[in-house]
């Protein structure tokens, strides 16, 4: 382990000039008449987004906003790990450290709106006693963390986050996440139950069940069927990531328009936006997420994590989480498990269904998400015996 170093990147003008030249030279494909979003990214919308990216998007301003967040890099197991670390403001009681785990296709970006709501609840209409110390790392191969030579799975990343919390002086802490970050948080609770006081997740992952279906409740059997149907209709991207990620990476790492298409189609499909992606995100917010993939050249390495996770042994997937678990299953998310399944896979002490928000709820509905974390973790604050480093 090394000592954390402050981190505030500055993109060179030459890099931005190269990006704009690529955007303006995009060789656009044709599209079926009136295809819209039915066959993938809508070509008309993508042309509009790319035009804005080339001529109006102010990345230096967005980068300055991100650099206003307290961010660091540290070496763990030979990998440079980037993370945000923001301490509680004027806490009125025990401060609970929490590590927030993102998914794909994103990075620490997913939690940028929610950080101030969690660290300074008193300034946002909530109880100052609910303040957190917030840690938001980029997984290896995502964002500003190093790209590992050998892709890491969620189990390995959870071990890294346990080490990171050691470095930061937090012997006990809460964990929360969604998408791949839900898996990482799950393994933190499974493999470090003496350190994780409670775990909160936005999903239960895609279902894995190898027993007799007769053992399942009716709603669980329907959940398995619905998840399978979703995979058949919407899961082609994941099949590519699991099997041949390098093929897609060549084009996506070279073409910013292609990268935007790959990402914005998922932002639209997985968010609670009623088919209009800009109901959930501004163009600047979409492009900030895309830029964090473009500048770091991490689209290929982020996809490879799917391949690593596909090799996790079934016995690991079948383990039940005994650490107190909470779930917020947002109304607009893609695959929504029933309570019976949540009780099957975890010691579920709280499960809610917020009325708005989708797969990226911390960004789409930060106030609702912050409320969920404050309420769920409230009983566990005094269990976190802190040893806070300087």
Distant-in-sequence, close-in-space partners of 178: CB < 8 Å, separation ≥ 6: 101, 102, 103, 110, 201, 202, 203, 359, 360, 361, 362
* Chain-centre distance for alpha carbon 105: 7
* Whether domain 5-25+41-378 has CATH 3.40.50.1820: yes
| Per-chain mean pLDDT for the chain | 95
Cβ atoms within 10 Å, residue 344: 18
- Residue 248 falls in which region: left (phi positive, over 0), alpha (psi -120 to 50) or beta: alpha
Read out DSSP for 81-101? EEEEEEPPSS-SSPPEEEEEE
pTM, to two decimals: 0.96
Q: What's the CA gap between 56 and 173, in Å, rounded?
A: 42
Question: Measured between alpha carbons, how far is residue 162 from residues 63, 94, 101, 121, 332 in Å?
Answer: 28, 21, 12, 26, 31
pLDDT at 212 over 90: no
Q: What's the CA gap between 133 and 294, in Å, rounded?
A: 30
**Domain residue ranges of the chain, discontinuous segments joined by +:** 5-25+41-378
The pLDDT-based confidence of 199 (bands split at 50, 70, 90) is very high
Over residues 258-263, mean pLDDT: 98
For 330-373, what is each residue's pLDDT tens digit?
A: 999 998 999 999 999 999 999 999 999 999 999 999 999 999 99
Where helices occur in 149-217 by DSSP H, the ranges are 154-167, 180-191
- Residue 317 falls in which region: left (phi positive, over 0), alpha (psi -120 to 50) or beta: alpha
In the prediction, which pLDDT does 91 show? Answer: 87
Q: What's the CA gap between 279 and 204, in Å, rounded?
A: 26
Q: Any bridge partners for residue 199, and if so which?
A: 175, 325
Residue 284, both tokens = 């600047």
For 58-107, what is each residue's pLDDT tens digit?
A: 999 999 999 999 999 999 999 999 999 999 998 888 999 999 999 999 99
pLDDT at 192 over 50: yes
Cβ atoms within 10 Å, residue 43: 18
Q: What's the CA gap between 252 and 245, in Å, rounded?
A: 10
Residue 23, both tokens = 């955007």
pLDDT at 307 over 50: yes
pLDDT at 388 over 70: no
In the prediction, which pLDDT does 389 show? Answer: 35
Q: Any bridge partners for residue 346, and if so which?
A: 321
Lowest mean pLDDT among 234-238, 288-292, 301-305: 234-238
| Lateral strand order in the sheet of 79-86 | 5-6, 71-76, 79-86, 132-137, 96-101, 173-177, 196-201, 321-328, 346-352
The pLDDT-based confidence of 385 (bands split at 50, 70, 90) is low
Closest to 54 in 3D by CA, of 15, 17, 101: 17
pLDDT at 382 over 90: no
For 4-59, what is each residue's pLDDT tens digit?
A: 999 999 999 999 999 999 999 999 999 999 999 999 999 999 999 999 999 999 99
The pLDDT-based confidence of 1 (bands split at 50, 70, 90) is low
pLDDT above 90 covers a percentage of the chain that reads 90
């Amino acid at each position: 382990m090394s000592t954390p170093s402050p981190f505030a990147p500055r993109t060179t003008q030459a890099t931005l000039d190269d990006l704009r030249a690529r955007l303006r030279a995009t060789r656009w494909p044709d599209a079926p008449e009136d295809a819209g979003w039915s066959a993938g990214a809508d070509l008309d919308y993508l042309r509009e987004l790319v035009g804005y990216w080339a001529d109006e998007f102010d990345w230096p301003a967005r980068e300055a906003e991100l650099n206003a967040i307290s961010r660091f890099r540290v070496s763990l197991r030979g990998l440079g790990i980037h993370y945000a670390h923001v301490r509680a403001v004027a806490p009125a009681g025990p401060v609970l450290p929490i590590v927030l785990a993102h998914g794909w296709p994103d990075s620490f970006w997913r939690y940028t709106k929610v950080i101030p709501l969690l660290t300074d609840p008193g300034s946002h209409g909530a109880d100052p006693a609910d303040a957190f110390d917030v840690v938001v790392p980029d997984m290896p191969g995502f964002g500003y963390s190093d790209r590992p030579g050998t892709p890491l799975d969620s189990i390995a990343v959870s071990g890294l986050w346990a080490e990171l919390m050691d470095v930061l002086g937090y012997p006990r802490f809460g964990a929360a996440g969604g998408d791949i970050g839900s898996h990482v948080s799950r393994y933190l609770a499974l493999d470090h139950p003496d350190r994780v006081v409670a775990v909160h997740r936005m999903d239960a992952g895609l279902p894995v069940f190898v027993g007799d279906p007769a053992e399942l409740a009716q709603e669980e059997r329907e959940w398995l069927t619905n998840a399978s149907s979703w995979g058949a209709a919407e899961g082609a991207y994941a099949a590519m990531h699991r099997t041949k990620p390098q093929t897609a990476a060549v084009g996506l790492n070279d073409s910013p328009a292609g990268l935007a298409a790959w990402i914005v189609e998922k932002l639209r499909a997985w968010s609670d936006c009623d088919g209009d992606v800009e109901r959930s995100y501004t163009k600047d917010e979409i492009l900030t997420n895309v830029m964090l993939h473009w500048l770091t050249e991490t689209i290929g390495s982020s996809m490879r994590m799917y391949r690593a996770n596909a090799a996790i042994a079934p016995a690991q997937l079948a383990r039940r989480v005994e650490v107190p678990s909470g779930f917020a299953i947002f109304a607009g998310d893609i695959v929504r498990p029933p309570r019976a399944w949540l009780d099957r896979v975890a010691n579920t002490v709280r499960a809610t269904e917020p009325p708005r928000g989708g797969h990226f709820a911390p960004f789409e509905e930060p106030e609702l998400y912050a409320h969920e974390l404050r309420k769920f973790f409230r009983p566990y604050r005094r269990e976190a015996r802190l040893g806070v480093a300087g």
